[in-house]
Chain A
Amino acid sequence: MMGRDLGIARRWDRVVDRYQASSRPVKIVAVTLVLVFAYALPLLRPPIITTQSIDFGGVMFRVIAFALVALGLNIVIGYAGLLDLGYVGFYACGAYTTAVLTTYHWHWPFFLALPVAILVTMVTGVVLGAPTLRVRGDYLAIVTLGFGEIIRITVTNVEWLGAAAGIKDIAHPNNIGKAPTPPFDPGGMFAIPRLTWEGFVPSVDHKHETHVLIFGALDAIPYYWLVLTVLILVLIGDRLIKASRVGRAWEATREDEDAAELMGVQTFKYKLMAFALGAAIGGLSGSFYASSQSGYINPLSFPLLLSMLFVASVIVGGAGNRWGAIAGGALVAYLPERFRDFADYRLLVFGLALTVLAVWRPEGLLPPRRTRRAKKAEAEIEALEEGELDEVDHA
């Protein structure tokens, strides 16, 4: 089965294997390098991957925000095995909670609204999950799909939530450093120039500087840094919980719910927990989305299509592997932006790409280690069985 894959996939597997085989210090160095590169990426603007027609910083923000969503959804789909097609509902929930709290009568600062948004979304997750998690598999998929739609229709029709016009002037995160004083002083602690490339020759571009850390409409890079930091924190939490009893319970439930139940795992409780946690991360990302550059949301920002894209990024990346989810999310957000030159065809190409990718590498780009091991073992057993049968035939 693997033999039919193209070379890139196999080579990538080999890189993963080599990383996993290396010693601890090597791992730490590798991770640090990757992190530094990740933080510097929107400033480095490497050729080929940089988008030309639209702001690369903005694209990177979208990419990282998408990766965060995928990481959250990975808990629900990848760990607990619950197919949630309405994740955009939680995303919208977080975004709208932030929007309402930081505008209208309240005018809360962003970082005060953020935890409330997470909490509200978590409660929403429990409220949706408590009745619906009793149904299984594809039934759950359609119920959650309905939930996403209900949220969208609700925000479209409730005047208090801005209805179709949406909510504007959502608070940005608080600035760190000197506040900007218009018209000429951009504020911030210090400014970092970015690189421009002529072919493959870099030079420093002092005309476009990023002011650290000013969150405003001008520059998306501080948002990128903020969300990247949050992503790393969530990753650490994700790692801890996956390795805990809870994570094991999730995996057991995913693999065989009845067996898990018989072994004393309270599957319903753990499924609900996965749902609530996933929802919370969805709300977190929605919250960032609402307060990002434009500070404006409306119901059109949360189409059901987005939900499909979220699911696609988790599965494309390899459900159950946190790095896979991140890579998948990044890819799904990035590809349409990179191919903006094709303007109208990009969604067509994107759709085809999803199908081709699914057919080409059905286990996702980065399948979880356990899946790969299981697959290898299966292949071995099969080979053994066939060998034995052959022997019997000869005898």
Chain B
Amino acid sequence: MDFGALFGSLDNFLSFTMGGLVFGAIYALIALGYTMVYGVLQLINFAHSEVFMYGTFAVAWVFIALHGTGSATWSLGHAIPYLLVALIAAMLLSAGVALLLERLAYRPLINKGAPKLIALISAIGASFALAEAMGLRDRIASWVGLDGKLANYVAPNKARDVFSNPVSIQPHGLFEIGGYKVTDVDLVIVVAALVMMVALDQFVRRTRFGRGIRAVAQDPESAALMGVNSTRVVQLTFLIGGLMAGAAATLYMMKIGSTRQNAGFLLGVKAFTAAVMGGIGNLRGALLGGLILGVMENWGSAVFGSEWKDVVAFILLVLILLVRPSGLLGESLGKARA
């Protein structure tokens, strides 16, 4: 244990905090998908991590399509047009996967009135299948006879291995806060995530669709009687969750630059932890939970060593739930005031 590493100087403290905020923002974006689906359907969308993972691949694919496979290092300014295309592609792909999930793995169960737990199993199965399908993308391409044409996209070296973005984005320092160089990449990630969260929050609070979502979250039967099409609402929820996961995937690829077929798993667990920490079903809670989780686990890794980072995250979760058993802002989506 080395508290000096964290609290020894203000500079260290700030730099760990800032670093944590960047990841926290990404967690928060992914957490939205969990928290919204949970708010509306009361089920853990276990395959959401795969929705995110498909987004990260979309980003890498866009860069390969636009730039080719040769590796390069760009500044953020140079990469922005590419990133915008990648963002759209990732959001579309993730949203598509999320909608597909809803249609194939959830809707039949909801229609049958199946127990909640079985939906979890369906989700786990879908999560497996999606991750494996991505791991086997070269085989799947060869089944449809496209492996030659798709070679760049399906098998950079070994299909199950890390799939890197050909362009790595070199962050530039913008200004310093107490010795921590805030880079343009960090700033974009945090600002983009915040903007999206605020936009979503306003969407849910102010629009007709948002009202529909809140109505179904609060009382599905009454909502149906009041003329809310609950199937449509559920679809919309998955769609928004997928869009946000796609955005998170783009930000993640900006920061990390490589992905793999199981990239989503731990991130998904963390994001779900963030959602629970903030109070699941609560959009603002997801933001708060994500940021707190990101910062705390960075502090934890400074104090206990980076290998204990995840342990810190989960112990923190237990501690918070002990004090507030329904999360920090334990108020559900349905009860959010307009």
Q: Which residues of A contact B (CB under 8 A)?
A: 1, 77, 83, 131-132, 134-136, 138-139, 141-143, 145-147, 149-150, 153-154, 156-157, 304, 308, 311-312, 315-316, 319, 344-345, 347-348, 350-359, 362-364
Contact = CB atoms under 8 A, between A and B. Distances in A.
A291 to B, nearest CB: 28
B318 A146 contact: yes
A182 to B, nearest CB: 40
Contacts of B108: 359
Q: Which 5 A-B pairs have the closest CB atoms?
A: A354-B125, A351-B128, A146-B314, A351-B129, A362-B114
Given A135-B325, A348-B128, A355-B126, 8 more contacts: A142-B272, A146-B314, A154-B311, A348-B132, A351-B127, A354-B122, A354-B128, A356-B125
A44 to B, nearest CB: 31
B128 to A, nearest CB: 3
Contacts of B307: 153, 156-157
Contacts of B318: 131-132, 143, 146
A347 B128 contact: yes
Given A134-B322, A149-B269, A311-B121, A358 B311 contact: no
Given A147-B314, A351-B129, A364 B139 contact: no
25 contacts: A1-B112, A83-B117, A132-B321, A138-B280, A139-B326, A141-B44, A146-B313, A149-B269, A315-B121, A344-B135, A345-B139, A347-B132, A348-B133, A350-B125, A350-B128, A351-B130, A351-B132, A352-B129, A354-B124, A355-B104, A355-B122, A359-B105, A359-B109, A359-B112, A362-B115
Q: Which residue, of A77, A149, A355, has the highest number of chain B Cβ atoms within 10 A?
A: A355
Contact of B308 (A146, A153, A304, A350): A153
A354 B265 CA distance: 18
A352 B128 CA distance: 8
Nearest to A136: B325
Contacts of B328: none
A152 to B, nearest CB: 9
A87 to B, nearest CB: 14
A301 B322 CA distance: 31
A308 B123 CA distance: 11
Interface in B308-323: 308, 310-311, 313-315, 317-318, 321-322
Contacts of B326: 139
Given A131-B318, A157-B307, A348-B136, A142 B128 contact: no
A319 B136 contact: no
A345 B265 CA distance: 19
A325 to B, nearest CB: 13
B118 A348 contact: no
A312 B121 contact: yes
Contacts of A311: 120-121, 124
Contact of A362 (B112, B135, B311): B112
A316 B136 CA distance: 26
B119 interface: yes
A362 B132 CA distance: 24
A358 B109 contact: yes
Contacts of B126: 351, 354-355
B273 interface: yes
A304 B269 contact: yes
Contacts of B125: 312, 350-358
A285 B125 CA distance: 24
Contacts, number: 138
A154 B309 CA distance: 11
Nearest to B313: A146
B26 interface: no
B276 interface: yes
Which bucket holds chain B's interface residue count?
A: 35 or more
Interface of B: 38, 44, 46, 104-105, 108-109, 112-115, 117-122, 124-133, 135-136, 139, 265, 269, 272-273, 276, 280, 307-308, 310-311, 313-315, 317-318, 321-322, 325-327
A311 to B, nearest CB: 7
Contacts of A357: 121, 125
A77 B117 contact: yes
Contacts of B115: 362-363
Nearest to A360: B108
A358 B121 contact: yes
Contacts of B130: 351
Contacts of B129: 348, 351-352, 355
A303 to B, nearest CB: 9
Contacts of A351: 124-132
Given A139-B276, A157-B308, A355-B104, A149 B121 contact: no
Q: Which residue, of B46, B115, B265, has the highest number of chain A Cβ atoms within 10 A?
A: B115
Contacts of A136: 325
Contacts of A304: 265, 269
Given A150-B314, A348-B132, A139 B124 contact: no
Nearest to B317: A146
Contacts of A143: 314, 317-318, 321
A312 to B, nearest CB: 5
Given A143-B317, A311-B124, A355-B126, A134 B325 contact: yes
A312 B269 contact: no
Contacts of A153: 307-308, 310-311
A362 B109 contact: yes
B312 to A, nearest CB: 10
A355 B317 CA distance: 30
Contacts of B317: 142-143, 146
Nearest to A362: B114
A136 B298 CA distance: 28
B308 A142 contact: no
Contacts of B131: 351
Contact of A135 (B109, B117, B132, B321): B321
A325 B247 CA distance: 40
A257 to B, nearest CB: 13
Contacts of B105: 355, 358-359
Nearest to A81: B117
A161 B44 CA distance: 34
A77 B118 CA distance: 12
Contacts of B136: 344-345, 348
A261 B272 CA distance: 30
Contacts of A316: 121
B107 to A, nearest CB: 9
